[in-house]
Structure 1
Amino acid sequence: MSIQIFILGALSEGNCYPYDIKKKIGKHLDQTEARITEGTIYYNFEVLHKKGLIEKIETIQSENRPDKTMYGITDQGRLALEESIYKVFQKFTTIQSLYAALVNLDKVDNQKIAYLIEDIIVKQRKKLDYIDEQKPEEIKVSEDLMDALWLMRDHAYHTIESNITWLEKLLRHVQSRALRH
């Protein structure tokens, strides 16, 4: 869905060719380990077109080149974009799962996003509490396995702690955007 959010977000700013959007997405993905192929882009364009979220605006034909089709977003597509962004925050899994939504914050109610982020932070803190309650030493296992369990517990704890710190920064950013609009 994140690719579709990127596509809808880009088209909400103006009509584009799929290749142009691939270049835009590539700039955002350069910051991550994710890679995107032209096939993936064209497949997602086709899916969005079949759903009625985007429409073909113009097809340019030239002799020695494949047809080049420009697309635009529909009203239904604008609504779907907004709903998709909210859904990404509601179904939070990882920080990376938010990337496509982050570049489209100008297309949603930032106050609503702030509430969703606050909810994520509460859930992440509950995970920390749960990890705190776990006592690997109460399990009868070998010393090597015990060491591994403590290391995994430590990694999980610090990852969640780091996520909370980042989410708090995001929350402040979104709240300041909400105040400006």
Structure 2
Amino acid sequence: MSIQIFILGTLSEEQCHPYDIKKRILKHLDQTDAKVTEGTIYYNFEVLLKKGLIEKIEIIQTDNRPDKTTYGITEKGRDALQEGIYAAFQKFTNVQSLYAALVNLDKVDLHKIAYLIEDILRKLEKRIAYIKPDRPEIEEFEVDLKDTLLLMKDHAYHSIQSDITWLQKLLHHVQSRALKK
């Protein structure tokens, strides 16, 4: 849904062609591991069109070139955009799963986003307490496996701690923006 959130967010600001969306995705998400092909974008446009979330606005025909279709968002699409942004936070798996939602925070209630971030932080704090590297349950394994398991736990612990630190920064950012509104 993240590509669809990005498409809906862009179309909520202006009507455009799928190729324009691809350029924006590359501009906004180029520093990430996002692998977005033209086929993926056109496929998602078709899905959104079939769901009634976007509509064809204009078909431009030029010589020696394929038709160029411009799309816009529908009211149903605006509602789906908000729901998709909230769902991205509710179904949090990692920071990258939020990227498309983050560039569209101006389209949702920031107080609700702050609450959802606080909920993510509570869940991550529980996970990090469970996998804390110095917990003794690894003692029963043989030495080689024990070392490997400790390294895996260490990686998981530091990854979650990194996400917690970043989400705390995001929470502060969202709360300060919410106060300004």
Cα RMSD between the aligned structures? 1.1
Question: What is the alpha-carbon distance in structure 2 between the residues aligned to residue 10 and residue 137 of structure 1?
Answer: 49
Pair 1:17 & 2:23 matched: no
Amino acid at match of 1:112: K
- Aligned residues of 1:117 and 1:171 also touching (Cα < 8 A): yes
Identity of aligned residues (%): 71
Give 1:101 shift: 0.3
1:30 aligns with: 30
Structure 2 gaps of 5+ residues are none
| Contact in 2 for aligned 1:136/1:150 (Cα 8 Å) | no
**Matches of 2:106 and 2:145, distance apart in 1:** 48
Task: Kindly tell me the number of residue pairs found equivalent between the two proteins.
Answer: 180
Q: Could you tell me which residue of structure 2 aligns to residue 49 of structure 1?
A: 49
Equivalent residue for 1:70? 70
2:102 aligned with 1:109: no
1:75-94 aligned at under 5 Å gives the runs 75-94=75-94
CA offsets, 1:62-97, max 9 Å, x none? 120000000000000000000000000001000000
Please state whether the residue corresponding to 1:93 is helix, strand or coil. coil
CA distance in 2, matches of 1:74, 1:16: 13
Deviations 1:105-161 (A, max 9, x none): 00000000000000000000000111138424332x221111001111111111111
* Kept in 1: contact 2:85–2:101 (CA 8 A): yes
For 1:153, the aligned partner's letter is K
Counterpart amino acid of residue 54 in structure 1: I
Query: Could you list the per-position Cα deviations for residues 155-175 of structure 1 after superposition, in whole angstroms to 9, with x for gaps in the alignment?
Result: 111111111000000000000
Q: Give TM-score scaled by structure 1 length.
A: 0.97
Letter in 2 for 1:9: G
